[in-house]
Amino acid sequence: MEILLVFIIGLLHAGGLYMLLRRSMFKMIIGLILLGNGANLLIFLIGRLVKGKPPVIDEGLKVFADAYADPLPQALVLTAIVIGFGLQSFAIILIKRVYNVLETDDLDELNSTDEEL
Amino acid sequence: MKSLIFRTASIYLLPLLLLFSIFILLRGHYLPGGGFVGGLMAGVAFLIHSFAFGLKETRNIIKINPGFLMPIGLTICVLAALAPWIVSLPLMTGLWFEEPFKFVGMVGSALFFDIGVYLVVVGSTLIIMFTIADTV
Amino acid sequence: MSNPYIILPIVFHMAAAVILMFCWFQPRVQKLLSILFSLIGLGISVWLFRLVWHEGFQVTQAGNWDAPFGISFIADTLGSTLGLLSSISLLAVSIFSTVSMREERIKFGYFPTLHFLIMGLQGAFLTADIFNLYVWFEVVIISSFVLLTLGGKKTQLEGALKYVSLNLLASTFFLIGIALVYGLTGSLNLADVAIKIGAVENRGLVNMTAGLFLVAFGIKSALFPMYFWLPASYHTPPAAISAIFAGLLTKVGVYAMVRMFTMVFIGDTFMSITLSGLAALTIISGGLGAIRQQHLGKIFGYLIICHIGFLFAGLGIFTELALVGTIFYLIHDIVVKTNLFIVAGLMNKLTGSPFIKEQGGLYAKYPLLSLLFAIPLFSLVGIPPLSGFWAKVYLIQASFETREFLLVGSIIFGSFLTLWVIAKVWSESFWKDKPEASSSGKPWSTFSTKEKWGILVPIMFLSIVSLYIGLAAENIISLASRIAAELMDPSAYINSILGMK
């Protein structure tokens, strides 16, 4: 299972970077979303996958005696997803506004802030 | 959308989904669920309604400006987070009533925080939805 | 020392933003409330700073979970100083925006977003948890996105797109870095990570994580190969927004960098050489960029990059003396850059053009105002005894001591370029006669009394602060030395978080 996730993370990162390097604005946002999902999966995987072991200590014990599921990465991933949701929806609205105003999807044509001296 | 089946279904779906979202909100502390998921679900309920009847109708049934849901939710969150200061404990310490309430279960500061999150999420999804739909 | 009230700056600005949101459609009420909240916020920051200065570090554990497990907040000298400086900037900017911001922007929620931004900054300065730092960063950048796109002119949207996409990328890198830190140490508490990362055997992986953090914070603080979003976006929004961005946004990246690279990723020669090299290149490329520009906002934008290089130079040298220089420069830079962009906004208004070629005659028309403008401009150059001078002395001395002559050269070169640029601005905009053909601006006499005070008070306030930094430098030096000593020996920080005596 780990090895599968590793490949998926690699694919998401590669796909994200590929999309980021395209000239289209829309593909850039898709790339950012893919990269974000790759990062989230990485956090999830890095907490180590444990099957069917709840992160709960038996009464009377002070520390975990056995391997246990780490609850923290899930909390982190959830937070990161929520933040990503907000940022990505903002970015999508933004590129829509930019597209409406500038009437182009080509990132190479967005150079009016750089040209003038 | 002018499908009769979809329209009829969405009339019943809206209250059902809203009720379910509150259920999700309340079970959130120990079980999967919580304010964010519940809020998104309520947002989706209104989204389905707007698909069937158009945005205007949805705005009419929501009545209050969704822009006000966010500050209300944030206020509840801040107050819930600050409540432990009264008993001079650090921020966000969970304070709970001893006995569970009927239907609701255990009530504590975390639940109020979740309700605040729920309102913020409903407000912001509705704002995002209306903004995107307005510019289409 | 445990104190549950140290998160008051965060909570207060959040409450301020919420109250301002309730007054969404009443611009007048919002303006008054914003100034009032900024004043109270400044008071809270002063209280926190004095508390930390006299009684040492203050710690609170959110949710009452003990240190390595919960989220810790700590007010140390560095964090509380920067919190104080951001409150000072906020006060100046919120007074300035009451007269300079148009009504429709205020109706889009300008003031609540401004306070959310400051809340994020205060949170970033107070937290002692890496993931929490990420969350505060996101609060900061999403508020800055909203501020940058408010109003939505063509150039503004274009600048915003570049800013948004690069910052989103930086956040992703930051997140990947956090994942690797968690994988390496099993903890995200800064103090705990600082202890545990030393025991990690795979130093290559640690260095790679450091590289990810370098890229993430490098994009946010406009370090050499990653600064292109800054000159493309900082001149597009109104002056008040540029001012708060210039003063604080890149500096929070520097702050995070200082924290991570003095506590977690220390003692690696490769990283420190990389940092020194990048700092030198940042100084040179920022300075050269500023020389070439004609647009006032872009000139100052490139100068921000140039001076970010000074801050990183101290971090690259990494001796106590160099850190004193970095901290001093940070304190000076926040105040001066905020002031500079407010002044630039006023200069644009008075002459009717943002291009220095078309400006001119300011000194002949307004000698007293020009004198006031001279304070931030020449503090930036570092003409003694103004504030920029002292920090550079420390940086140059430190790089001589560690025999990093490349850095000495680039710091001197950077200062020279800054001098050149400011001299050019001064001679073009102030001494030269106004070109005949250019558009006429709005003369000072047509401003209403309220507008005059709304513009003059923040400029004078920030000028007084920067004069204090320059003239009472011994106080700032003792503050910077204390911070630098704490950064070089983080054991006090670690002990107070983990509750060890």
Residue among B36, B124, B135 minimizing CB distance to A96: B135
**Helix or strand or coil: residue C305?**
helix
- Chain A residue with Cα closest to B130: A93
Tell me which of A26 and A110 has the higher pLDDT: A26
Q: How far is Cα C490 from Cα C412, in angstroms, rounded to an integer?
A: 31
What pLDDT, on the 0 to 100 scale, is given for residue C500? Answer: 60
What pLDDT, on the 0 to 100 scale, is given for residue C228? Answer: 87
Q: How far is Cα C341 from Cα C351, in angstroms, rounded to an integer?
A: 15
CA angle A38, B125, C112 (to 5 degrees): 100
Nearest to B110 by CA among B83, B70, B71, B72: B83
Q: How confident is the model over A58-85, as a mean pLDDT?
A: 81
Nearest to A46 by CA among A67, A11, A78, A70: A70
Dihedral of CA atoms B53, B54, B59, B60 in degrees, nearest 10, equals -40
Q: How far is Cα C165 from Cα A22, in angstroms, rounded to an integer?
A: 13
Domain count, chain C: 1
Q: Taking each helix axis from N to C terminus, what angle separates C388-401 and C320-351, rounded to the nearest 10 degrees? A: 150
| Displacement of CA C141 from its chain's centroid (Å) | 13
User: Do B78 and C15 count as a contact with CB atoms less than 8 A apart?
Assistant: yes
Could you tell me if residue C467 is left (phi over 0), alpha (psi between -120 and 50 degrees) or otherwise beta? alpha
Per DSSP, what are the bridge partners of residue C73? C60, C127
Residue among B71, B90, B94 minimizing CB distance to C21: B71
Q: What is the DSSP letter of C227?
A: -
Assess A94–C contact: CB distance below 8 Å, yes or no.
yes
Query: Other CB atoms closer than 10 Å to residue B6's CB: what's the count?
Result: 14
Assess C64–B contact: CB distance below 8 Å, yes or no.
yes
Q: Which domains does chain A possess?
A: 2-51+67-111 (1.10.287.3510)
Give, in order, the Cα–Cα distances in Å from B74 to each of B115, B124, C16. Answer: 10, 12, 11
Residue pair C44/C446 in contact by the 8 Å Cβ criterion:
no
In three state form, how does the secondary structure of C83-116 look? Answer: HHHHHHHHHHHHHHHHHHCCHHHHHCCHHHHHHH
- Chain C residue with Cα closest to B92: C63
Tokens representing C240 are 């008040």
Could you tell me if residue C175 is left (phi over 0), alpha (psi between -120 and 50 degrees) or otherwise beta? alpha
What pLDDT, on the 0 to 100 scale, is given for residue C142? Answer: 92
Task: Give which of B44, B124, B128 to mutate to test A binding, by max A Cβ within 10 Å.
Answer: B128
Task: Give the DSSP per-residue string, C134-154.
Answer: HHHHHHHHHHHHHHHHTT--H
What pLDDT, on the 0 to 100 scale, is given for residue C43? Answer: 96
Give, in order, the Cα–Cα distances in Å from C450 to each of C239, C311, C447, C453, C455. Answer: 18, 38, 8, 5, 9
What pLDDT, on the 0 to 100 scale, is given for residue A115? Answer: 61
Query: Other CB atoms closer than 10 Å to residue B93's CB: what's the count?
Result: 20
Residue pair B29/B106 in contact by the 8 Å Cβ criterion:
yes
User: What values do phi and psi take at C189, rounded to 5?
Assistant: -70, 125
Q: b or e along B49-76 (b: 16 or more beta carbons within 10 Å of the residue's beta carbon)?
A: bbebbebeebeeebeeebbebbbbbbbb
Q: How far is Cα C469 from Cα C331, in angstroms, rounded to an integer?
A: 8
Q: How far is Cα A85 from Cα C204, in angstroms, rounded to an integer?
A: 33
Question: How many residue pairs from chains A and C have C-beta atoms closer than 8 A?
Answer: 98
Query: ipTM of this predicted complex?
Result: 0.93
Mean of the per-residue pLDDT values for chain B? 85
B89 interaction partners in chain C (CB closer than 8 Å): 4, 64
User: Do C21 and B89 count as a contact with CB atoms less than 8 A apart?
Assistant: no
A71 interaction partners in chain C (CB closer than 8 Å): none
**Helix or strand or coil: residue C501?**
coil
Residue pair B93/C66 in contact by the 8 Å Cβ criterion:
no
Segment (H or E) for C58: strand C58-61
Predicted confidence band at B45 (pLDDT cuts at 50, 70, 90)? very high
Assess A30–C contact: CB distance below 8 Å, yes or no.
no
Q: Which chains touch A (3 or more CB pairs under 8 A)?
A: B, C
A86 interaction partners in chain B (CB closer than 8 Å): 124
Give, in order, the Cα–Cα distances in Å from B57 to each of B54, B61, B68, B122, B130. Answer: 6, 6, 19, 17, 12
A82 interaction partners in chain B (CB closer than 8 Å): 36
Tell me which of C188 and B33 has the higher pLDDT: C188
Nearest to C286 by CA among C311, C257, C249: C311
User: In this model, does residue A1 exceed pLDDT 90?
Assistant: no
User: Do B92 and C61 count as a contact with CB atoms less than 8 A apart?
Assistant: no
Write down the pTM of the prediction: 0.93
Q: How far is Cα C260 from Cα A46, in angstroms, rounded to an integer?
A: 21
Model confidence over A5-22: pLDDT tens digits?
999 999 999 999 999 998
Range of the domain at C17: 4-498
Predicted confidence band at B16 (pLDDT cuts at 50, 70, 90)? very high
Q: How far is Cα C264 from Cα C250, in angstroms, rounded to an integer?
A: 21
Assess A69–C contact: CB distance below 8 Å, yes or no.
no
Helix then strand then coil, in percent of chain C rounded to 5, is: 80, 5, 20
Give, in order, the Cα–Cα distances in Å from C128 to each of C46, C67, C136, C377. Answer: 21, 10, 11, 36
* pLDDT tens, residue order, chain C (501 aa): 788 888 899 999 999 999 998 888 888 899 999 999 999 999 999 999 999 999 989 999 888 888 788 889 999 999 999 999 999 999 999 999 998 888 888 888 899 999 999 999 999 999 999 999 999 999 999 999 999 888 777 888 888 888 999 999 999 999 999 999 999 998 899 999 999 988 888 888 999 999 999 999 999 999 988 888 898 888 888 899 999 999 899 999 999 999 999 988 887 888 888 999 999 999 999 999 999 888 888 999 999 999 999 999 999 888 999 999 999 999 999 999 999 999 999 988 888 888 888 888 888 888 888 898 999 998 888 888 888 888 888 999 999 998 888 889 999 999 999 999 999 999 988 888 877 766 777 888 888 888 889 999 999 999 999 999 988 889 999 999 999 999 999 888 898 888 764
Mean of the per-residue pLDDT values for chain A? 85
Q: Half-sphere exposure (CA, 13 Å, Cβ side) for A106?
A: 4
Assess A55–B contact: CB distance below 8 Å, yes or no.
no
User: What values do phi and psi take at C209, rounded to 5?
Assistant: -60, -40
Is the alpha carbon torsion for C395, C400, C401, C404 positive or negative?
A: positive
Assess A89–B contact: CB distance below 8 Å, yes or no.
yes
User: Do A32 and C236 count as a contact with CB atoms less than 8 A apart?
Assistant: no
